[in-house]
Amino acid sequence: MSVAMSNSPMINEPSIIDEPSMINEPSMINEESINDDQSIINEKVDRSLISIAARIRADGMDRMEVDGFTSQIPLSITGFSMPIDFSLQLGNGMVGDLSEFARLGNATRTSSILRTAVQYRPLTAEYAHMRLTSPISTCDGSLNFKVRPSFNVIVEQNSPTDCKIVSFSLRNSGQLDYDVSTSFFNIFKGIVLRNALQQSDPTPMLTSVVEKAEKSFVQHFEALGCQMF
């Protein structure tokens, strides 16, 4: 049996992904020039992101294996922490939809530096082998979650043909939507685990997923050259 639950985002997350606008109707000439420049920068970034996503899919890297891990999860019931920890063991899993991302907000560019943000929509992590151990019992099952992380990306241009990502940093962890499946006789334990995950630090869950997102994005950006400029 499977029931989904989500935890709150770690920081405030922008509510929309701005799409590039090709039509501007400013009232002043200098505003028109600024808006046109912004539109061109955003358009170049959007085209680059489409190319990166296509290369990720072509190379079969839109779905990658993530390492399993063991984490201690404090027991929490209706928001109250208990002096008991669960041991959560996850076998190797898969993260998918690594080619599903878009620009977040406006990109900015100087003569040699471009800054933008990218948001995934969403990434899906699947762990088919889960073991939950408490001081009095053990149960097996599976655990999946979806998350929409966003990243700040800084690109440096050293020459007309030499561009590289100098920073790809997590901007927002996004909201984790958990789905835990257990046998019928362990439904209550699954519910307790979901409540505990909702209250706990999501870093162990995010670490491998974020690493794979960065690896696939940066690797396929390098094949584009200086298309963003």
Domain-embedded: residue 10: no
Report the range of poorest mean pLDDT among 29-33, 178-182, 189-193, 198-202: 29-33
Q: What does the pLDDT average to over 151-157?
A: 96
Q: Which residue has the higher pLDDT, 32 or 128?
A: 128
* Cβ–Cβ under 8 Å, residues 45 and 107: yes
Domain-embedded: residue 6: no
Percentage of residues of the chain with pLDDT beyond 70: 81
Domain-embedded: residue 14: no
Question: Is pLDDT above 70 for 16?
Answer: no
Domain-embedded: residue 196: yes
Domain-embedded: residue 120: yes
Specify the CATH number for the domain of residue 52: 3.15.10.50
Contacts of 141-145 spanning 24+ positions with Cβ under 8 A: 141/180, 141/181, 141/182, 141/183, 141/186, 141/190, 142/180, 142/181, 143/90, 143/178, 143/179, 143/180, 143/181, 144/178, 144/179, 145/176, 145/177, 145/178, 145/179, 145/205
Rg (CA), the chain: 21
Domain-embedded: residue 59: yes
Domain-embedded: residue 140: yes
Would the pTM count as exceeding 0.85?
no
Q: What does the pLDDT average to over 170-191?
A: 87
Q: What does the pLDDT average to over 17-32?
A: 38
Q: Which residue has the higher pLDDT, 103 or 6?
A: 103
* pLDDT, tens digit, 9 for 90 and up, residues 122-143: 999 999 999 999 877 899 999 9
How many domains does the chain contain in total? 1
pLDDT on residue 143: 95
Q: Which domain holds residue 218?
A: 26-224
Structural tokens at position 124: 């899906």
Q: What does the pLDDT average to over 182-211?
A: 86
* Nearest C-alpha neighbor of 156 from the set 118, 116, 117, 114: 114
Question: Is pLDDT above 70 for 118?
Answer: yes
Angle between helices 29-58 and 203-221 (to 10 degrees): 100
Distance, in Å, from the CA atom of 174 to the CA atom of 119, rounded to the nearest integer, reads: 9
Q: Which residue has the higher pLDDT, 195 or 220?
A: 220
Domain-embedded: residue 102: yes
pLDDT on residue 210: 94
Q: How confident is the model at residue 195 (pLDDT cuts 50, 70, 90)?
A: confident
The mean predicted confidence, pLDDT, of the chain is 82
Q: Which residue has the higher pLDDT, 202 or 11?
A: 202
Q: How confident is the model at residue 36 (pLDDT cuts 50, 70, 90)?
A: low
pLDDT on residue 80: 53
Strand duo 177-182 + 2-6: pairing: antiparallel
Residue for token pair 């489409």: 50
